[in-house]
Structure 1
Amino acid sequence: MGESLLNESPGGRIPQAQRLRDLLEDAIVEGHYAPGDRLDPEALARQYQCSRTPIREALTQLAASGMVKVAPKRGTFVARLGVTELVERFEVMAELEGMCGRLAARRITDKTLTALQGAQADCRQCMLEEDVNGYYYKNGEFHRLIYEASQNTFLAQEARRLHAMLKPYRRLQLHARHRLESSWCEHERIVTALTTGDADTAQRELKDHVLLQGERFNDLVASMQHLGQTRA
């Protein structure tokens, strides 16, 4: 599963560290690293053909999101979520996003609404190009703006923290067939509710957009299995 990063865009360590984080997130979610596995920076640097500096940066980001745990004097270890933990966190994430949507419908500024509409336009372009990774990043900006629009610093902080923890799983959801289109359509309903100030609809649409249940849960599990088999 090694992959060279020598062809990444020039500039420096931040883009490379982000790419490494993405690769490691995928590897953890797909089961290439089991819960409790130690991630050795030197071995990872050889595997991904890069220096240890971006590896350390990527591991720090993963630790902040809860994907790995750092044990003093022992190293960094995978802390992969089990199915029950994953469902529980998506349930909480759905409630937090719903709260953000309800508050944002009442408090969003014209400036933030314009930025949100811009992020939605970017998502549409990625959808049309079938650019899953591009959509993933623009989708993150879309949700960040809604957290900001709630104008509740504590709520936004908690939403961002849990969003970061669930990032690799949310990205895998996008690999399901037609998920980009359905996600973008859900965004459209959210933007409409926020534009018209419909707090009840904004809350409901955001909860439904995030909640992991039924076919969406099955699609996520299937995506994890398929990508794991492909990498293997």
Structure 2
Amino acid sequence: MDMKTTSLPLSDQLLEAIEERIVTGAYPPGTRLDEVDLAKVFEVSRTPIREALIRLETMRIIEKVPRKGWVVTPISPQSLCEMFEFISELEALCGLFAARRATPFQIQQLLSAHEACRDVDDPDAYYRANEGFHKALYAAAGNSYLLEQLTEMQRRARPYRRLQLRAPERIKASFAEHEAIVAAVLARDEGAAAERLREHVMLQGDRFNRLLQSLEGFGRAGR
């Protein structure tokens, strides 16, 4: 990420930059993340670095270890699969509720968020637009407990969802999946909306294998 051209707040820029290095293997599992060292690397003060690390800890991407400080948390392929499996079911429920009860205003917000994803080629820019699309769906679902769970899980899955968007043709496929989701919600087809969301989020077959290969490949490159 180019920290000189993005309009994101500094703490967000640092979060994405550190997150990027973790997922791509530059900071493999077990790596100690020292505030002073990171401040030198990114040429910033320790305060925004600390803010970024605290947020990464809430996402469970790093953890605070006694006498070591922040350390990159390992994640197994099974844990990754289970996490996306859980998120896919939450999102499916969200699609069902959105198709059942979305108001005209919420439908318009969903359409606007969908259009914001159109013709976006950069993976990180698309990820942010994609977040807006899913947040519009969460709002349309109208369930605060579901929103709370989805928000927490999205934080934890964020780096892996960003990484999978770098697979060839994934952005194009994701937008097409959004089209099908929107169509189901507009048609008030609860079953179809739930199934389209489940398919959109769930990492299966080739998609899961590609993600694991990306993690392994970047990890080797980072060592």
TM score, norm. by length of structure 1:
0.89
Q: Which amino acid aligns with 1:183?
A: S
**For residues 201 and 117 of structure 1, do their structure 2 counterparts lie closer, same or farther at Cα, with a shift above 3 Å needed?**
same
Q: Secondary structure at the match of 2:149?
A: helix
Task: State the match for 1:79 in structure 2.
Answer: 73
2:151 corresponds to = 160
After superposition, the CA RMSD in angstroms is 2.0
CA distance in 1 between counterparts of 2:47 and 2:5 reads 16
The alpha-carbon deviation at position 228 of structure 1 amounts to 4.6
- Which residue of the partner structure matches residue 149 of structure 1? 140
Question: Where does structure 2 lack aligned partners over 5 or more consecutive residues?
Answer: none
2:111 is the counterpart of 1:131: no
Paired position in structure 2 for 1:192: 183
Correspondence for 1:38 among 32, 35, 41: 32
Tell me if the contact between 1:175 and 1:223 (Cα under 8 Å) persists in the aligned partners: no
The alpha-carbon distance between structure 1 residues 9 and 137, as it changes in their structure 2 partners (threshold 3 A), is closer
Provide the C-alpha distance between the structure 2 equivalents of 1:4 and 1:51, rounded to a whole number of angstroms.
Answer: 18
Secondary structure of the structure 2 residue equivalent to 1:77:
strand
Bigger shift: 77-86 or 217-226?
217-226
TM-score in terms of structure 2 length: 0.92
Higher relative contact order (CA 8 A, sep 6+): 2
The answer to whether the aligner puts 1:203 opposite 2:194 as a matched pair is yes
Query: Percent identity between the aligned chains?
Result: 38
The correspondence of residues 51-62 of structure 1 with structure 2, limited to 5 A, is: 51-62=45-56
Q: Return the offset for 1:4.
A: 7.9
| Partner residue in 1 for 2:163 | 172
Please give the secondary structure, in 2, of the residue aligned with 1:125: coil
Report the AA paired with residue 153 of structure 1: S
Aligned residues, how many? Answer: 223
Please list every run of 5 or more consecutive structure 1 residues that lacks an aligned counterpart in the other structure.
none
Matched residue type, 1:204: E
Q: Cα offset for 1:115?
A: 1.3
Residue identity opposite 1:51 in structure 2: S
